[in-house]
Amino acid sequence: MNTTDRTDTPGANQTAVDANDPNHVLIFDTTLRDGEQSPGATMTLQEKLDIAAILDQMGVDIIEAGFPIASEGDFEAVSEIARMAERSVICGLARAAKGDIDRAWDAVRHAKKPRIHTFIGTSPLHRQHQLAMDRDQVLRKIEDTVSHARALCDNVQWSPMDATRTERDYLIETVKVAIAAGATTINIPDTVGYTAPRESAQIIRDLLENVPGLDKCVIATHCHNDLGMATANSLAAVEAGARQIECTINGLGERAGNTALEEVVMALRVRRDIMPYHTGLDTTKIMSASRMVATASGFPVQFNKAIVGKNAFAHESGIHQDGVLKNAETFEIMKPEDVGLSASALVMGKHSGRAAFRAKLKDLGIDLGDNAFQEAFVRFKALADSKKDVYDEDIVALIDDERTSA
């Protein structure tokens, strides 16, 4: 194809990660775009502004604020977020159509750091059934639309939708065309959550080996969670050379969702020893962002969800409670404060032991002698056997009863 190589034009590398810090991983949050595409997750303008504000404060590198051509509401939300953001790059999504790209540009152009993200399906299934285009027609469309976006904005991200089900030699060709047309970030989406960690890494390595100039762009990974492997696939891509992870708060997203921001960010933080990469995020804002997104989207967070679930820092079994009371590291690999919680929770239930019961009484300001403590503990166990949750009020009532009957 006859394309002009633009990788060396001014601005082409402005999104490349710092050459002095090759292990820095950019976080691209798409809660407000891919997340909102979950059926039933529509958010109001104010909710979107609040979420964008906390992402910006948290240090998220790029916020994909919406899909401006999709509706007036989306356009307005992206434009407002673009005007408001202090630190983050603000990105608008566009299909491979000039009208979409112009609309995305109109929405993000007021941002301090705007980005246009354009995509087209590249897999045989998408070419045949969605686009009714052959390989060459898709290549020409990529050249046309990426160069159009690049004429408007120095920061252009391009995605081959369904990349993980695209023939590898053809995927390589598409990326070459996108780079020559001026793309500065190449994103590799696992659109249907089909890949596995080894393959996710191999795709990135194959691209790096076969696409000249790709090392001057940022390579992004965008995983869906249909097989529950989105986090593992994203991290595998990073180990192979990707330096931007696309993700959402609480893993919100179509079907089984996207890679969860809190999971990749905390995994990189906790396992720095084996994955020497880092993000610049203020992780103490994670819980607030999670609650905000759960409320705005109406998608509650499952109790045992990694990092942000109600039980992620809660302990009920006696052995675990005893361990945590002696040294939290016995059963915790992260500090609750690091994700914005004040403390872990010792949940009182039938598995709780004497150590936790004693600590709970102390918390409640109840001081019992040895015999009274033993009797109270027996009664607490009987109560816990008959009840799912034992609340502080139950324990206070149990002690009061014991005192009146004594």
Stretch that binds Zn ion, among 15-23, 34-42, 265-273, 316-324 (CB under 5 A): 34-42
C-beta separation of 85 from 112 below 8 A: yes
Q: Please state the residue numbers annotated as binding site for Mn(2+).
A: 34, 222, 224, 258
Closest to ligand KIV by CB, 119 or 313: 119
Instruction: Give, as ranges, the residues between 282 and 321 that touch Zn ion (CB under 5 A).
Output: none
Rg (CA), the chain: 25
Q: Is 162 in the site for Zn ion (CB under 5 A)?
A: no
Closest to Zn ion by CB, 154 or 190: 190
Q: Is 34 in the site for Zn ion (CB under 5 A)?
A: yes
Pick what 119 binds: Zn ion, ligand KIV, none; C-beta below 5 to 8 Å, kind-dependent. ligand KIV
In the complex, the smallest distance separating the C-beta of residue 157 from ligand KIV, rounded to whole angstroms, is: 9
C-beta separation of 329 from 304 below 8 A: no
Pick what 161 binds: ligand KIV, Zn ion, none; C-beta below 5 to 8 Å, kind-dependent. ligand KIV
In the complex, the smallest distance separating the C-beta of residue 187 from ligand KIV, rounded to whole angstroms, is: 6
Closest to ligand KIV by CB, 27 or 346: 27
Token duo for residue 39 = 């059926």
In the complex, the smallest distance separating the C-beta of residue 37 from Zn ion, rounded to whole angstroms, is: 8
Rounded Cα distance, 126 and 138, in Å: 10
Pick what 150 binds: ligand KIV, Zn ion, none; C-beta below 5 to 8 Å, kind-dependent. none
Pick what 297 binds: Zn ion, ligand KIV, none; C-beta below 5 to 8 Å, kind-dependent. none
C-beta separation of 84 from 52 below 8 A: yes
DSSP 271: T
Minimal CA–CA distance to 243: which of 108, 109, 61?
61
Pick what 322 binds: ligand KIV, Zn ion, none; C-beta below 5 to 8 Å, kind-dependent. none
247: left (phi over 0), alpha (psi -120 to 50) or beta: beta
**Whole-number Cα distances in Å, 175 to 297, 387, 404:** 34, 59, 78
DSSP 165: G
In the complex, the smallest distance separating the C-beta of residue 225 from ligand KIV, rounded to whole angstroms, is: 11
Q: Which residue has the tokens 């010792």?
A: 346
Q: Which residue has the tokens 């989207």?
A: 297
Which residues face 94 on adjacent strands?
A: 118
Rounded Cα distance, 242 and 229, in Å: 17
C-beta separation of 221 from 191 below 8 A: no
Closest to ligand KIV by CB, 159 or 234: 159
| 88 Cα distance to chain centroid | 15
Closest to ligand KIV by CB, 159 or 231: 159
Q: Is 36 in the site for Zn ion (CB under 5 A)?
A: no
Contact residues toward ligand KIV (CB under 6 A) are 34, 119, 159, 161, 189, 191, 222, 224
Rounded Cα distance, 58 and 46, in Å: 18
Closest to Zn ion by CB, 161 or 376: 161
Q: Which residue has the tokens 């804002």?
A: 285
Q: Please state the residue numbers annotated as binding site.
A: 34, 222, 224, 258
Q: Is 190 in the site for Zn ion (CB under 5 A)?
A: no
In the complex, the smallest distance separating the C-beta of residue 221 from ligand KIV, rounded to whole angstroms, is: 11
Rounded Cα distance, 25 and 231, in Å: 14
Q: Is 64 in the site for Zn ion (CB under 5 A)?
A: no
φ/ψ (deg, to 5) at 384: -65, -30
C-beta separation of 292 from 54 below 8 A: yes
Stretch that binds Zn ion, among 28-36, 93-101, 298-306, 336-344 (CB under 5 A): 28-36
Pick what 159 binds: Zn ion, ligand KIV, none; C-beta below 5 to 8 Å, kind-dependent. ligand KIV
Closest to Zn ion by CB, 138 or 247: 247
Pick what 315 binds: ligand KIV, Zn ion, none; C-beta below 5 to 8 Å, kind-dependent. none
Closest to Zn ion by CB, 34 or 143: 34
DSSP 166: S
Binding residues vs Zn ion (CB under 5 A)? 34
